[in-house]
Amino acid sequence: MKTIGFIGLGVMGRSMAANIKKAGYDLRISTRTKATAGELIAAGATWCDTVAGLASGCDAIITIVGYPQDVEEVYFGEGGLLESAAPNTILIDMTTSSPSLARRIYTAAKEKGIATLDAPVSGGDVGAKNGTLSIMIGGDTTSFKTALPLFESMGKNIVYQGKAGAGQHCKASNQIAIASIMMGVVEAIRYAEEAGLDPRTVLTSIESGAAGSWSLSNLAPRMLEGNFEPGFFVKHFLKDMKIALDSSEELGFNPQGLSLAQKLYQQIADAGDDDKGTQVLYKYY
C-alpha cells in the first residue's frame, strides 16, 4: 500500500495521520473543518473536499470520526465510501463504534469487492502522538496482514481479535475496564487527601504496585494539576459507554461498574463539562 486516505482529524486523528505521513505514505485527508488540517497540508498531505474525492486512488482509507451516526454517514451516505471506494480498497474504521455496525459495513462492502476492518484504538492523545496506540482489529485475516505495516505506523500493541465486529467488542471491554478504573483512581486520590496525605507521594507508592494502571500514571497527575483538558472527551466516553451497555444488553450481561460510571459521567455532561477530559471526574468528587 502506498496511498492512504484519512477521514477525521480530531484529537486522536491528527496525530495518527501525522505518523502515517512520517512513515512515508502518500496521505490524502478530509475532515469537516479544513483549518484542522493545516499542519498536515504543510507537511505534504493532499486535501480533499469530499469523501468521494478522497476515495479515488487510495489503497486504504482510515476513518476515525465522532459517533456511530457519523460512521453511518461516511460509509452509507450519498457519495460515501461504500459508493465511491474502488474494489480491493481496504476500509479501516478506527472510530469506537458498535459491533453490529461494523458487521453491517463488512457485509455491504464485501458485496462490492471492498475489504473492511474495524480497528478501534486505546492510548489517548499521548499514545496517538507517540505512535504507541493499542489497536484492536476485527475482519478477515488477509486484510489484516495487508494492513499491518500501516497499523505499525500508528501503534505498538496490534492484536487481531477475530471476525468483523471483534475489534469493536474488544474496545467495549477496554472501556468497561476504564470506567471502573477511573472511579477507583479518583476515589484513591480523594481518600489520600482526606487522610491528610500528599497525593503525589501516594501515587509514587501505589502506581508501580498492584494498583498500577495507565489512568493512574497519566491522568491522576493531570487531576492534581487541575488540568481537565481533553486527551479523551467526556462526551465521547459517554458514547463508548452507551455502546458497551447496549452490546451488553444484547449479550444478556449486566456490567454494574459500567452502569455506575455512566451515571456519574452523565451528571458531568449535564453540568456542562462534556468537552473536558475524562479526568474531570475528580472535580465532581
Which sequence positions are flagged as catalytic? 171
Cell of 216: 493512574
Q: What secondary structure, in 3-state letters, does 6-26 show? A: EECCCHHHHHHHHHHHHCCCE
Sign of CA dihedral 16, 17, 18, 22: positive
Distance separating alpha carbons of residues 255 and 253, to the nearest angstrom? 6
Q: What are the φ/ψ torsions at residue 119 (nearest 5 degrees)? A: -145, 65
3-state secondary structure 48-117: CCCHHHHHCCCCEEEECCCCHHHHHHHHHCCCCHHHHCCCCCEEEECCCCCHHHHHHHHHHHHCCCCEEE
Nearest-angstrom CA–CA distance, 264 and 261:
5
Over the Cα atoms of the chain, what is R_g? 19
Per DSSP, what are the bridge partners of residue 135? 121, 158
d(CA 86, CA 280): 43
Grid-cell match 477496554, residue found: 174
Backbone angles phi, psi at 139, to 5 degrees: 140, -165
